[in-house]
């Protein structure tokens, strides 16, 4: 029997405060040189050696302070673009990204930890780490929460990526057209190649 991959999950702990928006609201997202959202997170580890789930309360500072990390966020687990291109792309680029001065690579989604767990196993992920933002606290703090009710998704994250150093945004990559009730879901600016290109330019 094939051993299950070791996967790291982090799920938001505090209840969220959603934006009461229903129209074509254009979001103002966090920008370079700004602090990332500081929220409490539950750190969940699953491994083939220890199949039981263990939980540890963390904060954004625990994860990002004194580190340089890449995060990328997407609308939802098991969705086509995320499953076919974005997650496999960052998984494949993981070693190269780490070699360019990055301590860790995280995927963020407004999903609960159980859904993210199943998705990472389904994707055969072994390297990138999953950050379930079930309450949307982190996504809200990053200014990336959008209304996707027109697609039956409720509130989700707009697609973005970021390089974060010592809890401060070094570089943001945001897909164009961020807004509530957006008709489309572009993918290009947040491709791992874009992140790698930037990291190479600042080595």
Active-site choice (46, 82, 136, 145) = 82
- Token digits of residue 106: 């995280």
Assigned token pair, 196:
């790698």
- By the 8 A CB rule, do 107 and 78 touch? no
Distance separating alpha carbons of residues 198 and 203, to the nearest angstrom: 9
Give me the helix-helix angle, 192-201 and 87-99, nearest 10°.
Answer: 10
Paired sense of beta strands 145-147 and 7-12, if any: unpaired
Q: Is 167 a catalytic residue?
A: no
Q: Residue 50: is it exposed, middle or buried by C-beta count within 10 angstroms (0-12/13-18/19+)? A: exposed
Among all chains, which residue has been given the structure tokens 């190479």?
200
Stated as kind and residue range, the H or E segment containing 88 is helix 87-99
Between the CA of residue 1 and those of 4, 48, 53, 119, 120, what are the distances in Å?
A: 9, 11, 20, 19, 18
SS3 150: helix
Residues with catalytic roles: 82
């Amino acid at each position: 029997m094939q051993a299950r991959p070791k996967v790291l999950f982090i799920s938001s702990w505090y209840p969220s405060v959603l934006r009461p928006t229903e129209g074509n609201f254009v979001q103002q997202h966090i920008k370079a040189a700004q602090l990332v959202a500081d929220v409490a997170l539950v750190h969940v580890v699953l491994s083939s050696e220890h199949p039981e789930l263990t939980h540890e309360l963390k904060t954004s500072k625990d994860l990002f302070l004194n580190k340089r990390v890449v995060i990328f966020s997407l609308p939802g687990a098991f969705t086509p673009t995320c499953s076919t291109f974005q997650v496999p792309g960052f998984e494949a680029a993981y070693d190269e990204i780490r070699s360019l001065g990055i301590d860790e690579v995280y995927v963020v989604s407004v999903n609960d930890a159980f859904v993210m767990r199943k998705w990472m196993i389904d994707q055969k992920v072994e390297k990138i780490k999953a950050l379930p933002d079930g309450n949307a606290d982190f996504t809200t703090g990053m200014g990336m929460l959008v209304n996707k009710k027109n697609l039956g998704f409720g509130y989700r994250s707009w697609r973005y990526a970021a390089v974060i150093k010592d809890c401060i945004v070094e570089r943001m990559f945001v897909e164009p057209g961020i807004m509530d009730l957006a008709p489309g879901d572009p993918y290009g600016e947040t491709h791992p190649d874009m992140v790698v290109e930037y990291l190479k330019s600042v080595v």
